[in-house]
Structure 1
């Protein structure tokens, strides 16, 4: 099993969210070489990359509880944190970005090229977004998965049905009912 095996990293992040120091050390040992290399390729200066890596792992420690496996692979989530910190550093230092896409794996490049809000943006959610996340977590697992595939991954109902190996009508019903439950839950929270 690879040291960056997504399932292993998910378990380590869950333990880090519970402030497990040994798990954090294992997570660091498993991912820091790749993340450091990524930061170094962006910043081209070892001392800046080391600083970004340290800041990124502080952020990972503080925000592991906000990691959502359904939205990104663990390494992608951590790479996005490093990317955001590195770009912040570049903005402060007015350095030039040079990245060779051929030397990085797909997850790393996807995180770098993503125009989606980064994990730090997601962790600074508004009260409405936190309420939505709370209500979303109350949905049944398969309903939540169908909605996540449809809305977070921008799949059509047909594509969701194909991916989940379910009839199209079932998926449409689950998404509709799930959205109704979300609306009801959000209305209750708004009134509270």
Structure 2
């Protein structure tokens, strides 16, 4: 039996995202469960950082896994990593939610009547806050676009994917000090742009 020290030094077995997607494309539900157990918590973090509501983030992750399941066959490894594909689906769903402002929900006539009454009594201050929030979001995207691609990727990996500086350095094959400097300067540039 291995000692605690030996157990700690065993190499971590890499999760095979591409194999999971291939199995999902073949209808293997266990592969989807494996993928869910591997990534759902991190994907929830990504969705929450974008949508800023736990329940909405949970819905986004659910929708992402439905989309992963139904579109697994369309994954093309020549266009990027399987894990990146999974994260991009989640990010796109979350960003679409934020951009659209709300989901469409089937409602009864009675509920529709209540909603119309509430709409007529709508607080104009709340409407201005909502408008400001959407304008602010659009401005963030414009400011991000002004960053050099490597620096923009650092910011997105850190604040959207939730990666540590060390993880980003490994992903980009860039020295850790450089990644830290890029993030620091990029945040300063974003603050100035948003100013």
Q: Normalising to structure 2: TM-score of the pair? A: 0.48
Q: Which has the larger radius of gyration?
A: 2
Q: Normalising to structure 1: TM-score of the pair? A: 0.49
